[in-house]
Structure 1
Amino acid sequence: MASSTTATPTRPARNQGLGRILVMVYAVFALSAFARSLFQILSQFDVAPVAYLLSAFAAVVYVVATLSLARSGPGAWRVALAAVLVELAGVVGVGLWTVLDPGLFADETVWSRFGAGYGYVPLVLPLVGLAWLLAHRPDRSDAAASREER
């Protein structure tokens, strides 16, 4: 006997497939930026406090992006979007700052020279994340289901 409901095509969850790889890349950057900034702040903070604090800020942004990209739902989508936009603004802003006035920073940050020290992945990552998020934007039914679960 056939079901009386019609099947509607569903797209894969935002954190599945390529989304899962994106979460893993963000997790690696969160861990590496956190470890690097923690070491620098604890061992040589007086050498380049601005650079090391910017690296710590980048680590926080990567952690927030990782956690929100790994979750489902419209609230997590909004947090992920905000984190990726902050990341993009940070890498472009700090990148420009370090290119236009290289003597300003006594040491590199994750976002220095647009992430050159990390193979420019910090510049490409928010673009890929933004494209992924916009392609997996929650629709109105997702938002309504989320409200009903509360």
Structure 2
Amino acid sequence: MQNHSTEHPSAPAATTTGEPGVPAKNRGFGRLLIVIYWVFSLSATARAGYQLVRKFDEAPVSIALSALAAVIYIVATVFLAKKDKTSWSIAVTTISIELAGVLLVGIYSLIRPQDFPLASVWSHFGQGYGFVPLVLPIVGLWWLFHTRRSGK
């Protein structure tokens, strides 16, 4: 049987981006990352919503930071899922802000624990969430830069 393919047999396989060796940011591992961000979006939004309504006067700093984290997770999720180069840039910016937030809030919560009578998503570097809030933006940025050439 003859091979009628126009591709050279030793050519690298093209990915969904059309570029050899460059995976699309929302395929494969990228899909898992989007699901994790989606779960964190839901979790942080539910927690912040409940705390805003029921406990805001107990810990306004913690609760405001949890609400901010929820918004950042939502934006990151949306732009990780989109395929264009502008979305890639917005995802990098959002996830960079997320990393800065978890680092700054983590340090601040250790220095001034009295400002965090209720934990926020980012306090103590995300200890209440198994430190996933600390690891997630690092992995997210790695993935975005790994898929950089495609922007998709």
Name the TM tier (shorter chain): 0.7 to 0.9
Q: Distance in 2 between matches of 1:4 and 1:34?
A: 48
One of 2, 11, 17 as aligned partner of 2:28: 17
**Is residue 35 of structure 2 the alignment partner of residue 31 of structure 1?**
no
* Matches for 1:1-150 after TM superposition, within 5 Å: 3=6, 9=14, 10=19, 11-139=22-150
Runs of 4+ in 1 over 6 A off after TM superposition: none
Instruction: Point out which structure has higher relative CO (alpha carbons under 8 A, 6+ apart).
Output: 2
The secondary structure found in structure 2 opposite 1:106 is coil
Change beyond 3 A, Cα 1:3–1:125: same
Q: How many residues align?
A: 140
Q: Distance in 2 between matches of 1:41 and 1:117?
A: 18
> Counterpart in 2 of 1:146?
none
The secondary structure found in structure 2 opposite 1:124 is helix
The Cα shift of 1:4 comes to: 9.0
Tell me if structure 2 keeps the 8 A contact 1:73–1:138.
no
For residues 105-133 of structure 1, the C-alpha deviation after alignment (integer angstroms, 9 at most, x for no partner) is: 22110001000000000000000001000
Letter in 1 for 2:62: A
Q: State the TM-score, normalizing by the size of structure 2.
A: 0.85
The secondary structure found in structure 2 opposite 1:45 is coil
The percent of aligned pairs where both chains have the same amino acid is 46
Q: Distance in 2 between matches of 1:31 and 1:116?
A: 18
In structure 1, stretches of 5+ residues that fail to align are 144-150
In structure 2, stretches of 5+ residues that fail to align are none
Tell me if structure 2 keeps the 8 A contact 1:77–1:138.
no
The Cα shift of 1:58 comes to: 0.1
Q: Distance in 2 between matches of 1:80 and 1:38?
A: 24
Change beyond 3 A, Cα 1:113–1:4: closer
